[in-house]
Amino acid sequence: MNMQHLLLLHGAMGSKEQLKGLEEILASTYKVHRISFSGHGGSAFAPGPFSIISFAEEVMEFLRSNDIQQINIFGYSMGGYVAMYLAKYHPKKINKLITLATKFSWDKIIAEKEIKMLNAEKIEEKIPSFAAALKERHHPQNWKLVLEKTREMLAGMGDDNPLKPWDYLTIHQPVLLMLGDRDKMVTLEETLAVFKNLPNGQLSIIPDTPHPIEQSSASRLAFEISSFLG
């Protein structure tokens, strides 16, 4: 029996290594793939700025390079946004998709708030352990450049959100939106707004789960993903 393809996508300033544990649980059931977006996890920077569109094209190039005709996607945070963008603009390539902790609502005020949290000097001063983790995660690339290019991407999303509320009405693939009950970055309200616009959407609230992927239960996520994909 041919196993379904499943691609795991990391979030902003993340890398594919953060999803290794999830892959290990799911690998016996699905043909699991992980990629790091350009500039992340030590991968080379692509020309031009970070953007949802450019990251989506990187996924498309991965599918072409590996001759994958259709795939399921699990996307954490920004990775979930990229997955949703692909479902909108490359619907034939996406079978089912699952998002976790994905922020869909963007405007200037929201972007400015998030950008303020991505100050390299303040992170080094106030959260040195996080700075050290980012340095190690993106080596040999400069983690501060990853941070700066992420800031620029969020500013762009604040000016013009790549996915508008009405776009979700046209996404007909089965979609599972997952949100941790302790997530302080993504609101239930914005998740519900997307859920209500999806023709084939489902919603799952994950207990005792904050925003960082490292603080979620890989076994619980794997159960939700497997139950949804079948």
Q: Which domain holds residue 175?
A: 5-104+163-229
Summarised one tens digit per residue, pLDDT across range 3-60 is 999 999 999 999 999 999 999 999 999 999 999 999 999 999 999 999 999 999 999 9
Q: Where are the alpha helices (DSSP H) in 160-229?
A: 188-197, 218-229
Cα-Cα-Cα-Cα dihedral sign, residues 50, 218, 168, 73: positive
Sequence-separated (6 or more) residues with CB below 8 Å from residue 167: 88
Q: What total number of domains does the chain contain? A: 1
> Whole-model pTM?
0.97
Reply yes or no on whether the pLDDT at 1 is more than 80.
Answer: no
Q: How much is the pLDDT for 203?
A: 98
Asked whether residue 112 is domain-assigned, the answer is no
Half-sphere exposure at residue 118, Cβ-oriented, CA atoms within 13 angstroms = 21
The domain that holds 78 is classified in CATH as: 3.40.50.1820
Asked whether residue 150 is domain-assigned, the answer is no
Summarised one tens digit per residue, pLDDT across range 154-203 is 999 999 999 999 999 999 999 999 999 999 999 999 999 999 999 999 99
Asked whether residue 68 is domain-assigned, the answer is yes
Q: What percent of the chain has pLDDT over 90?
A: 98
Asked whether residue 207 is domain-assigned, the answer is yes
